[in-house]
Amino acid sequence: MESLMHDETSIHYVSSGNALPTLLFVHGADIDLSYWNAQLAYFKDRYHVIAIDLPGHGKSGRNKKHWTVKNMGEDVATFIRSLKLEQVILIAHSMGGNVGLVAATTNPDPVIGFIGIDNFKSAGQPLPSEYQEQSKQIVEQLHQNFADTNEQYVRMVLVTPETPEAVSARVINDYRNAFQPMAIEIIEAIFNDEYLTERELLPKLSCKLHLINVDYMPTQKEPLKQLTTKGFAIHPMEGTSHYPMIEKPDELNQLLDQTIEEIMRERSIA
Cα–Cα distances (Å) from 2 to 16, 48, 142, in that order, read 11, 15, 32
Q: Domain range for residue 61?
A: 2-126+195-269
Q: State the alpha helices, DSSP H only, in the chain.
A: 37-43, 69-82, 95-106, 129-144, 146-153, 165-176, 180-192, 194-201, 221-227, 244-247, 249-269
Find the mean pLDDT for residues 59-71: 92
Q: To the nearest whole number, what is the mean pLDDT of the chain?
A: 94
Residue 29 lies in a domain: yes
Q: Is residue 90 part of a domain?
A: yes
pLDDT tens digit string along 135-178? 889 999 999 999 999 999 999 999 999 999 999 999 999 999 99
> Is 188 within a domain?
no
Judge whether residue 183 has pLDDT over 60: yes
| Number of domains present in the structure of the chain | 1
Q: For residue 51, tell me if it sits in a domain.
A: yes
207 domain residue, yes or no:
yes
CATH number of the domain encompassing residue 213: 3.40.50.1820
Q: Is residue 237 situated within a structural domain?
A: yes
pLDDT at 96 over 70: yes
Cα–Cα distance for residue pair 84/33, rounded to 1 Å: 21
Confidence of residue 133 (pLDDT cuts 50, 70, 90): confident
Q: Is the pLDDT of residue 130 over 90?
A: no
pTM: 0.96
Mean pLDDT computed over 77-102:
97
203-231 pLDDT, tens digit each: 999 999 999 999 999 999 999 999 999 99
Q: Output the pLDDT for position 6.
A: 61
